[in-house]
Amino acid sequence: MTSAEQHERGLERLKELAGPNAEAVVEQLTALAPDLGRWIVDFVFGEVYSRPGLDLRTRQIVNVAALTALGTATPQLEVHLSGALNVGVTQEELIEIFLQLAVYAGFPASLNGIAALERVLAAREAATPPAAGV
**93-104 per-position pLDDT tens digit:** 999 999 999 999
Q: Which domain holds residue 100?
A: 54-128
Residue 134 lies in a domain: no
The one-letter amino acid code at 102 reads A
11 and 47 part of one domain: yes
3-class SS at 80?
helix
82 and 22 part of one domain: no
Write the CATH number for 72.
1.20.1290.10
Phi, psi of 110 (to 5 degrees): -65, -45
For residue 25, what are the contacts with CB-CB under 8 A and spacing of at least 6? 14, 18, 79
27 and 62 part of one domain: no
Is the model's pTM score more than 0.75?
yes
119 and 82 part of one domain: yes
5 and 60 part of one domain: no
Structure confidence by residue, pLDDT tens digits, 28-79: 878 888 898 889 899 999 999 999 999 999 999 999 999 999 999 999 999 9
Would you tell me how many other CB atoms lie within 10 Å of the CB of residue 6? Answer: 17
Residue 101 lies in a domain: yes
Among 18-27, 68-77, 87-96, the minimum mean pLDDT is found in 18-27
- Cα 55 to chain center, whole Å? 14
8 and 59 part of one domain: no
Predicted pLDDT at 25: 78
36 and 85 part of one domain: no
Please count the structural domains in the chain: 2
Among 40-44, 66-70, 88-92, 126-130, the minimum mean pLDDT is found in 126-130
Among 14-28, 40-54, 92-106, 109-123, the minimum mean pLDDT is found in 14-28
Assess whether pLDDT exceeds 60 at residue 111: yes
Residue 133 lies in a domain: no
Average the pLDDT over 106-134 and give the result.
85
39 and 60 part of one domain: no
Assess whether pLDDT exceeds 70 at residue 131: no
70 and 7 part of one domain: no
Measuring CA to CA, how many Å separate 102 from each of 66, 78, 109, 112?
Answer: 13, 18, 7, 10
80 and 115 part of one domain: yes
Of residues 14 and 99, which shows the higher confidence score? 99
47 and 62 part of one domain: no
